[in-house]
Structure 1
Amino acid sequence: MDESGLSRTDLGLFLDLSATDPAQPDYRRLFQALRQAILERRVAGGSRLPSTRALSAALGIARNTVKNAYELLQAEGYLQGRRGAGSYVAELPELDRPATRSGPRQNAVERVESRQSAGPGLLQTAMPALDQFPHRRWQRALQHASTGGGLLAGDPQGDSALRFEIARWLGTQRGMQVEPSQVLITSGSQQGLYLIASQLLTRGDLVLLERPGFFGTEDAMRTAGACVSRFHQQQLEQVDDLPEAKLMVLTPSRNFPLGHTLPADRRLALLNWAYERELWLIEDDYDSEFAAGPALSALYSLDRRERVIYAGTFSRTLFPGLRIGYLVLPRVLVPRFVKVRRVVDGGLSMLPQRALAEFMACGDYSRHLRRMKRLYSQRRESLEQLLAQSELGQLPIIDAGGGMHLCIQLPSHCDDGEIMAQLESRGVKVRAISLYDEQCGPGLVLGFSADNPDSMARGVEALTTVLEPLLEQ
């Protein structure tokens, strides 16, 4: 990509391509420059963008780079494509910005587990393809970490090298400007949620939780004595109608488990609403690495007043037994969270942290994720084909846009909880959608990421045996 600085387009607009991180792919750098121009109203809503051919010629970059940037802008809701007429900027609410800067910028245990045995099963959700894990490369990272400081106690905030790699990864993949000093390493995402609840809530505070959503989040909030109110993503079209609350937990990039994405206009309106009410937004980002297409930008990347706390985990991208997650905290919260972490457990073991830092630094982590994204896409297609060829082909599939699972909708007379129990007795560990939202219609969440073709076929066969009599009623 041309590094000469500002390039003029036929919009009469300057795009500062040199201001973006040169380590990022060219299409994401262009995406960020265009998104910034849209957010700053340098390109008005309703404006027609140049054709991909014209913009690529003006900037001296490949046309495919421009096409990929446009596609990502459209996926996140900043552009609207009109057949035969080009791409137009969406009408978006203006994001409220702080008048002054406060300081210089510095570089519940899941209930379902009691009903399911610990061993893996067919069509199990949230289970990586452990048979494809690069064991030798991980062992090499462990060996590297076991020398020197890896055997000592470390910083309760987390290993500095790992925090640096996480900040770098989030900048490249999720569009987030993060300093390592803002990252807190946790024992999985559940501990992160518990720390948030214990530090930001007092008994009786109201918390808004997404519906459907991960039930372990509610357990963490109720442990702190909070009251819980549920909302659907559709309700974010009118955020002013939501009740006053202390914090909100949501999955804007991929709702769990249905996979819906929160578009740009609702994200901006939600941030403005949070600023006005001094509400904390908790962004739970559980498997965006495996979403179909390029990774969407995090809600955190739009935040200008540091009201968003970002929660991530390595349990799905690597293996569940690793038990390493992290929070990206607003600067004002870092001292408080580090202090309580020092009291609670003094921090995690240094050995796996340093091994993970080495695994990321040498490129093994990104290579592994690229392989798994391709594999999971193939396995998803295989599961869809098996379902279509079975007696279950009539059941609607709720598109989750990639990831590690898909959802099927069941007839209204079905009891998905009872079906889940019957399937468990056959070694099939799907989950009932009612676990995540009792008001949703019955359905099942089917994992595909850990199943090879043979095991997937056995899972669908068992699924058909249990469901076929119910479909005939």
Structure 2
Amino acid sequence: MAGKRTNSNLAGELLIELRRDDAVPLHRQIEASIRAGVRSGRLPLGSSLPPTRAIAADLGVSRGVIVEAYQQLVAEGYLTSRPGGYTQVAIGPEPAAEPVRTEPKRVPRIDFGYGRADVSSFPRAAWLRSIRRVLTEAPNDRFGYLNGRGVPELHDAIADYLNRVRGTSADPGDVVICNGYAQGVSLLVQVLVRSGAKRLAVEDPSADDDVRPVAVAAGLEVVGIPVDRDGVRVDALDRTDADALVLTPSHQWPTGGVLSAESRAAVLKWAGDRGALVIEDDYDAEYRYDRAPIGAMQGLAPDRVVYAGTASKTLAPGLRLAWLVVPRRLVGDVVQAKVAADRGSPVIDQLTFADFLSRGEFDRHLRRMRPVYRRRRDVLLEALRDRTPGLEPAGIAAGLHLVAWLPDDLSETAVVETAARRGLGVYGVGPYRMSGGGPGGLIFGYSTLSERTITDGIAMLAEVIDEVRAG
């Protein structure tokens, strides 16, 4: 056979490693090694194996051990042997599995996706300076195992920042660092379940993709509380016997409503009467344009409210930095859940963010980005007014997205699907409703789009609306 490998060439290629202290018999170990070589293609079809005497001498075993192994592989069909001839590989390697073919995901030419910071504006130079200072100055013990709360430097920096900017009543000892908001809410769900909680309330509509799957998997019943244009409806909350409520009071997601002072007080009274916990998701409150800042609810009732913040909307989601300010009685339980999850968040990232915060770089970054996002929002509002006057924008005073409510003659689903076929990414409010009904609306994220792209996108949307109306 042309090109056939000889036994002398192959003698060193069997890669048989015998473990003589193993309970598996030696001939079984030899079989397994040769079988694996055939399956992988390392021992090709038609290759000749060394004679039994030669391989026995190389391995320091009796010839009978090799004969037994070869005979078993011949019986299984891996090898073939004939008197006076070589023992050869009888089959080829197992064929690779056919890759699963999936339809390529259609990427919109213009995408009004939401929930994103403009990561192209990430303050790399300032962040790098903080990293260098950390690597130069951080005490050695910071690089060892810490408790699950995180590093003290970041506790102090977070508490100082939130008390100064968000009106919280945060003590550094109550701050827990976690890997993103999703992990933070997962830790809280675990603590709630262990305390005997049965029911979790969320706003309806809401971005429940971080909360709801985790809560349901943990055995909690999740109930929706209707939202009007000022935030969660307190009258509906009063009829709910939930053990905890997830709330976005400063900029309701997605409608943009701001919970009034009266409603905040009513929510906290409900929580106090029921012994319930309020989880305040303060996801994008740093970006506000047309109104004075609204303080965090945690500052009104730190014993009943968990404050949840994140760097995902202000710096970059890839940092996976978030923080909880937890009522003192729950800190130990949350830390225990954090330690069980991952032993703690990366230390260098925490120290870097602490330095970045304490030196005012975070404030400077926000001051740079607010006018950028405001211009983009203003261009979006102007384009909506000029090209789609039948849509009613809402939630425009803050954040990185807005909602435009549709007139009754337009189907949200039809607009979204028709836009997608044209390469335009717009997204409906409907998928975020737990209950049916409600007005149709479109969610527009504008933080990552240039002003020209925003204008072009709304021009495309106007054509989409004409097509939907034309049937």
What TM-score does the superposition give when structure 1 sets the normalisation length? 0.70
Name the CA distance, whole Å, in 2 between partners of 1:315 and 1:240: 29
- Closer, same or farther: CA 362–443 of 1 in aligned 2, 3 Å: same
Distance of 1:119 and 1:185 partners within structure 2: 35
SS across alignment from 1:290: coil
User: Structure 2 vs 1, CA of residues 421 and 346 (structure 1 numbering), >3 Å: closer, same or farther?
Assistant: farther
Task: Note the C-alpha offset of 1:257.
Answer: 0.9
> Hey, what does 2:392 align to over in structure 1?
396
Q: Is the 8 A contact 2:130 2:355 kept in 1?
A: yes
1:175/1:393 Cα in 2 relative to 1: closer, same or farther (>3 Å)? same
Tell me the secondary structure at the aligned position of residue 326 of structure 1.
strand
Q: Is the Cα contact below 8 Å between 1:253 and 1:288 reproduced in 2? A: yes
Distance 2:259 2:202 in 1: 15
- Kindly report which structure 2 residues correspond to 1:29-108, keeping only aligned pairs within 5 A, or say none: none
CA shift, 1:410, in A, is 2.0
Superposition pairs of residues 207-222 of structure 1, within 5 angstroms: 207-216=200-209, 217-222=211-216
1:121–1:470: structure 2 CA closer, same or farther, 3 Å change rule?
A: closer
Give the Å deviation of 1:471: 3.6
Query: Which deviations, in whole Å up to 9, do the C-alpha atoms of 1:61-116 show, x marking residues without a partner?
Result: xxxxxxxxxxxxxxxxxxxxxxxxxxxxxxxxxxxxxxxxxxxxxxxxxxxxxx97
Corresponding letter in the other structure for 1:281 = V
Q: Which residue of 2 aligns with 1:350?
A: 347
Q: Do the aligned residues in 2 keep the contact of 1:239 with 1:270 (CA within 8 Å)?
A: no
1:455 lines up with 2:453 in the alignment: yes
Partner of 2:252: 255
The 8 Å contact of residues 125 and 430 in structure 1, kept in 2 or not, is answered as no
One-letter amino acid of the structure 1 residue matched with residue 181 of structure 2: S
Paired with 1:417 and 1:224, the residues of 2 have a C-alpha distance of 32
The percentage of counterpart residues that share the same residue type is 29
User: Which residue identity is paired with 1:222?
Assistant: V
Q: Deviations over 1:224-254 (max 9, x none)?
A: 1111211124564436742211111111111
After TM superposition, the structure 1 = structure 2 runs for residues 160-199 of structure 1, keeping only pairs within 5 Å, are 160-199=152-191
Q: 2:223 matched to which residue of 1? A: 229
Q: What are structure 2's unaligned runs of at least 5 residues?
A: 1-103
Larger radius of gyration: 2
Task: Please give the alpha-carbon distance, in whole angstroms, between the structure 1 residues aligned to 2:389 and 2:247.
Answer: 32
Partner of 2:280: 283
1:407 to 403, 409, 430: 403
Measure how far apart 1:435 and its partner are.
1.9
1:429 to 425, 430, 450: 425
1:393–1:231 Cα change, 3 Å: same
1:465 correspondence with 2:463: yes
8 Å CA contact retained: 1:153, 1:349:
no
Q: Does residue 318 of structure 2 align to residue 301 of structure 1?
A: no
SS of 2:295's equivalent in the other structure is coil
Tell me, in whole angstroms, the C-alpha distance in 1 between the residues paired with 2:152 and 2:413.
44
Taking the aligned partners of 2:277 and 2:422, their CA distance within structure 1 comes to: 43
The code of the aligned residue for 1:144 comes to R
Alpha-carbon shift at residue 362 of structure 1 (Å): 1.1
Is the aligned partner of 1:133 residue 2:122? yes
CA shift at 1:144, angstroms?
2.4
The answer to whether residue 243 in structure 2 is matched with residue 246 in structure 1 is: yes
Output the CA distance in 1 between the equivalents of 2:237 and 2:147: 42
Quote the Cα distance in structure 1 between the aligned partners of 2:105 and 2:156. 37
Q: Determine helix, strand or coil for the equivalent of 2:286.
A: helix
Displacement of 1:138 in angstroms is 1.6
Maintained 8 Å contact 2:426/2:444: yes
Match of 1:376 among 358, 367, 373: 373
Match for 2:442: what amino acid?
A: L
**Contact preservation (8 Å) 1:233, 1:262:** no
**What is the letter of the counterpart of residue 199 of structure 2?**
L
Matched to 1:416, the amino acid is E
**Residue of structure 2 in register with 1:71 after alignment:** none
Whether contact under 8 Å (1:124, 1:428) holds in the other structure is no
Question: Residues 180 and 416 of structure 1: is their aligned pair in 2 closer, same or farther, counting only changes over 3 Å?
Answer: same
Partner of 1:339: 336
Deviation at 1:412, TM superposition (A): 3.7
Cα contact 1:239–1:273 (8 A) shared by 2: no
* Equivalent residues of 1:204, 1:225 under 8 A apart: no
Please say if residues 202 and 247 of structure 2, whose CA atoms lie closer than 8 Å, have aligned partners that are also in contact: yes
- The answer (yes or no) to whether the contact 1:432–1:445 under 8 Å persists in 2 is yes
Residue type of the partner of 1:180?
Answer: P
Aligned pairs for 1:310-349 (under 5 A) are 310-349=307-346
**CA distance, structure 1, for counterparts of residue 362 and residue 108 of structure 2:** 26
Indicate if the aligned counterparts of 2:380 and 2:446 stay in contact, CA closer than 8 A: yes
Deviation of 1:197 (Å): 0.9
Q: 1:425 to 1:366 in 2, by over 3 A?
A: farther
CA displacement at 1:427 relative to structure 2: 5.0
SS of alignment partner, residue 400 of structure 1:
coil
- Distance (whole Å) between structure 1 residues aligned to residue 465 and residue 293 of structure 2: 35
How far off its partner does 1:286 sit? 0.9
Q: How far does residue 205 in structure 1 lie from its aligned partner after superposition? A: 1.0
Inter-partner Cα distance in structure 2 for 1:119 and 1:141 = 37
Q: Deviations over 1:351-390 (max 9, x none)?
A: 2111111111111100111121122111111111122222
**Structure 1 CA distance, aligned partners of 2:201 and 2:165?**
28
Match in the other structure for 1:10: none
Distance 2:466 2:333 in 1: 54
Aligned residue identity for 1:213: S
Equivalent of 1:158 in 140, 150, 167: 150
Q: Could you tell me which amino acid in structure 2 is paired with residue 461 of structure 1?
A: A
Note the C-alpha offset of 1:215: 1.9
Distance change in 2, residues 1:398/1:205 (3 Å): same
Aligned CA distance change for structure 1 residues 120 and 470 (closer, same or farther; 3 Å): closer
User: What is the one-letter code of the residue matched to 1:343?
Assistant: A
Q: Distance in 1 between matches of 2:417 and 2:316?
A: 25
Shift in Å at residue 269 of structure 1?
2.0
Q: Distance in 1 between matches of 2:149 and 2:107?
A: 30
For residues 344 and 205 of structure 1, what CA distance do their matches in structure 2 show? 22
